[in-house]
Amino acid sequence: MKGRFMELSEKALYRNHYILGPRYVPDFDSWNRTRISDSLFVTSHPDLKIERVSNESKSLLLMGYLLDPNRPAGNDRDILEGLLSEFIDFPDLVRNTAKLGGRWIIVTDDDGAMSLFHDAAGLRQVFYTDNTATGDIWCASNPFLLAELLKLSYDPDAAEFIKSSEFKYMPGGRWWPGMGTPYREIRHLLPNHSLDLGSGRTHRYWPSENLTSISVEAAAAEAAKYLKGLMEAAANRFKLTLLISSGKDSRTVLAASKTIREQLYYLSISSPQGQKDDAAIPAALLAKFGLEHHVAKAKSKPSRKFWNKYKKISPLGNASYAANAEAISPHIATGPVVVTGHVSEIAKGYYFKKVESRDDIGPEDLAGMTCMGHHEYAVNAYTEWRADLGEKRGDDLAKLCGYDFLDVFYWEQRAGNWLPMWLLEYDLVWKETVTPFNCRLLLETMLGVDEKFRSPPQYELYDRIIAHLWPELLDVDYGVKSPVGGVFSRRVKEWTHKFKFSINKLFNR
């Protein structure tokens, strides 16, 4: 194992990865080592920033970076010291991080009681071992890294799911359902949950307060303030490349970048799997304002050499995603930290049109909505997730504090499972990612808007945010991707997916 890991670490294939556990991992000679306590140690890639602050009884350790929209000039240590000064108990700490953006994990030590939690969408991933199976609690950025370290094999049920048509033909990239992983001994810490590093138990800490309804105009003004502050904070910290497509998410991020627009490198991806306007519309938009546009032209498949590297990070990865990453890589020297419009989808009612009623949405329905058919593994995974909210519908509503069930489902399952792994895979080609929508207070504000303003096909809330930030951007049409094209394209992919695995099952009975 040591020889293999040494080779990969030297080539930076594990950029931004970490392993936290009862001892250091000796296989990574070039990695950093950080002692948290007598029984907790972090072995981390040199590119992953770690900061620690402490007082007489408490300490906070940060892995990753924090952004404060209200103090764009603040650095990680400034922000962390502010959190420590107001750290009374864990719920109080969580509330104080709600205003922050970034991609981070915070490990807390409150007079010997240790736990960890992460950013709003869990973009700095935490996979942890079931200590009843492994004896010790280990955490890592990647389940495959942990499995290699602990010599674990695929769970037979998970292996059967991996072989299934539902998994092979999953549209929009493969992702794992529920809180599990391909390994029975390894779990995924979902967004809105913390992990007790003593007992190994998880705790749902959000939502804890009732959803506050807000008018679309008030929400747009509030969201504009957060996004502008987060983008300015990121520009103070990093050299940025903005990934821009023909859609509303990235244009909203562009609008938030108006004051720093000359500092950004603008990049679109042109790929056989993408929307036809994803390069043409940004080119016209940026030219209107005298900003230089660049295009990464992806092939249908990655080169064999790049694909082999990509699979070492994510053996279940998607080849078309790898092809895009390979096309991006030559551009990253000009801006090694990439800005995307992701996480915004949490507020866009992605699953609203898939059901007639919010009542009685069972695990089978959730598996179908996520294009996993009614495969037993997916159904069981969503049964477990649903139990985390409460077995009865009334309990669901109480725990969700007025938040829409489907919004929370998208937040924790689609955004919380697919997106973090995608970002970790793309750390292979860029240094870090900034997703300005990844801020809990911003998401709560957007979710407080009536769904008719944030649902397909118009997504009016986004246009109103842009109007507050840079209204001239609305003069250029979005193209076929919005409002109708994106919905139609998604439906075609889902129909194709269902057809493929139905045919596969027919001929493999």
Q: Alpha helices, DSSP H only, in 43-172?
A: 76-85, 90-97, 131-134, 143-150, 156-163, 165-168
Distance CA 13, CA 432 (A): 13
Same domain, 52 and 133: yes
Q: What is the pLDDT along the chain (509 residues), one digit of tens a residue?
A: 444 444 444 456 899 999 999 999 998 888 999 999 999 999 999 999 999 999 999 999 999 999 999 999 999 999 999 999 999 999 999 999 999 999 999 999 999 999 999 999 999 999 999 999 999 999 999 999 999 999 999 999 999 999 999 998 887 778 899 999 999 999 999 999 999 999 999 999 999 999 999 999 999 999 999 999 999 999 999 999 999 999 999 999 999 999 999 999 999 999 887 777 889 999 999 999 999 999 999 999 999 999 999 999 999 989 999 999 999 999 998 889 999 999 999 999 988 877 777 777 899 999 998 999 889 999 999 999 998 887 444 444 456 899 999 999 999 999 999 999 999 999 999 999 999 999 999 999 999 999 999 988 889 999 999 999 999 999 999 875 433 334 444 444 444 444 444 444 444 43
Same domain, 336 and 448: yes
Closest CA to 97 of 442, 404, 367, 409: 442
- Domain range for 370 is 360-403
Distance CA 219, CA 33 (A): 43
Same domain, 165 and 246: no
Same domain, 75 and 138: yes
Same domain, 91 and 138: yes
Same domain, 195 and 120: yes
What does the pLDDT read at residue 399? 67
Same domain, 292 and 147: no
Residue 190: CB atoms within 10 Å: 21
What does the pLDDT read at residue 7? 45
Same domain, 220 and 200: no
Query: Is residue 354 one of the residues assigned to a domain?
Result: no
Same domain, 30 and 79: yes
CA–chain centroid gap for 177, Å, is: 14
Closest CA to 169 of 422, 488, 504: 504
Query: Is residue 505 one of the residues assigned to a domain?
Result: no
What does the pLDDT read at residue 171? 78
Same domain, 148 and 240: no
Same domain, 149 and 290: no
Structure tokens at 332: 């990253």
3-class SS shares of the chain: helix, strand, coil, % to 5: 45, 15, 35
Query: Is residue 228 one of the residues assigned to a domain?
Result: yes
What does the pLDDT read at residue 173? 75
Q: Are 478 and 246 in contact (CB under 8 A)?
A: yes
3 state DSSP class of 45: coil
Distance CA 417, CA 126 (A): 11
Same domain, 384 and 448: no
Residue 249: CB atoms within 10 Å: 21
Distance CA 21, CA 137 (A): 6
Query: Is residue 265 one of the residues assigned to a domain?
Result: yes
Domain count, the chain: 3
